[in-house]
Amino acid sequence: MGGYGGGFRGVKKDTVEDCLVLSIAELFQKKALVSGALRCAELGWADGVSRRPHAVIHLDADLRDEVHATIRLRYVADGELIDTWIFLTVTKPHFGGRRWWFKCPSTGRRAAKLFLPPGERRFASREAHGLSYRSCQKSGSIDRFCRRLARQLGRDETELHALLR
């Protein structure tokens, strides 16, 4: 019970790097979304190694009315056809213009990006899916390593941290 190296390590969360990402800024940059217009687009994600497409989403956007702006997404997830609507909202920054946001389908909160983790079927915000960043998980492992090494060497943990960073 509880020997060397034992203990709860915590459950690894899915990371944003493993997800398909819908970025409102990128959709405007690629002209898939245009303020005051109807748009249709097809979005694709390629496999990083083979460069072959592994996901395709059909997007229909209606941004003619800021109050009722919507995006319709159609795609296949785990063999099931998903047909879903995402609402958009607008804020007006102090320096002028307007900024568009997704309204997270799960939480209802504003989000600049929506994520689809492996094994999930719906896009939602990072918070809604409980996603983490890969770098955060690595920094935790460095902290655990420093604590363990400090105990073995009888040294100060912060001293070891400074040496490793």
pLDDT digits (tens, 9 = 90+) for 61-84: 999 998 999 999 999 887 889 999
**Who contacts 106 (Cβ-Cβ below 8 Å, separation ≥6)?**
122, 124, 125, 128, 129
Residues 40-51 have pLDDT tens digits of: 999 888 766 666
- Taking phi over 0 as left and psi of -120 to 50 as alpha, with beta for the rest, 130 belongs to left
Domain limits, the chain: 18-129, 134-164
Q: Do the beta carbons of residue 45 and residue 52 sit within 8 Å?
A: no
State the pTM of this model: 0.72
Q: Return the amino acid letter for 50.
A: S
